[in-house]
Amino acid sequence: MTEKELKSSEQQILRKGGLPRHIAIIMDGNGRWARRRGLPRVAGHRAGLKAVRDVVKGCASLGVEFLTLYTFSVENWSRPAREVNALMKFLRETLRRETQELADNNVRLRVIGRTEDLPEYVNDEIARAVGALEGNTGLTLVLALSYAGRVEILDAARKIAREVSRGKLHEKDITDDLFRSYLYTSGIPDPDLLIRTSGELRISNFLLWQIAYSELWITDTLWPAFRRKHLYEAIKEYQERERRFGRVSSRRKTEA
């Protein structure tokens, strides 16, 4: 799409209203994109950065409040050490290089996951970038790093159990709201829209608690080829859906 066509698409979305506050994306397909071109897997990750830039710009332009990207999972630590080391160095390099671009787009940064498992040099770069962007007031970009949905739930349960054992919490105090306050995503609304690239039909242990009522949108497009036009297509489809949260459809009520 040309820049003019993208702007037109943005205006259509904004006129329609009902934008998702929070979009989460499972960025899948970097390895396949690279393999089809005879390139190493890390080349796919580097190519995927262009998609990240374009999607961040699109969300910031539309006024989306939160964008969460599944960047590196707990399970990814089991990949070959050479690939993991290359990814960690690429992550540090990307944070260092992209901070100014994020600042120019009024983007804040937050990282969720078992960050203590990341190399010290990555955590140092995360702290620097988060600090540099903390005064911004636009889109909050959330990077899920060393993240797994089941691990997040277990970590929350363990924290609550410790509080109960110390007498700081009672069983009756454990509500939905209290439990979610112990999750990594405390203070972030649940995703309204979950996008998965590469055509795979699974959740891959991502935001398991939070996506209970998220709308799913899956595309065959591999992540390095994903652009704002795909993001806008997903949002437009989201705007046409009726979110019932377990209730009877308002359309059916009207018909009745």
Say whether 3 sits in a helix, a strand or coil. Answer: helix
Q: Are 58 and 228 a contacting pair, CB within 8 Å?
A: yes
Distance separating alpha carbons of residues 144 and 110, to the nearest angstrom: 9
Sheet order of strands, 22-26 included: 108-112, 140-147, 66-73, 22-26, 193-196, 215-218
Query: Whole-angstrom distance between the N-terminal and C-terminal Cα of the chain?
Result: 43
Distance separating alpha carbons of residues 130 and 143, to the nearest angstrom: 11
Question: Tokens in use for 72?
Answer: 């590196």
Say whether 40 sits in a helix, a strand or coil. Answer: coil
- Name residue, tokens 């054992």: 165
> Closest Cα partner for 111 from 175, 39, 188, 167?
188
Say how many residues make up the chain: 256
Per the residue annotation, which of 30, 54, 76, 136 is the catalytic one? 76
Question: Tokens in use for 151?
Answer: 């691990």
Distance separating alpha carbons of residues 146 and 155, to the nearest angstrom: 13
203 burial (CB, 10 Å; 0-12 / 13-18 / 19+) is: middle
Look up 28 and say whether it is catalytic: yes
> Closest Cα partner for 102 from 75, 131, 133?
133
- Residues with a catalytic annotation lie at 28, 76
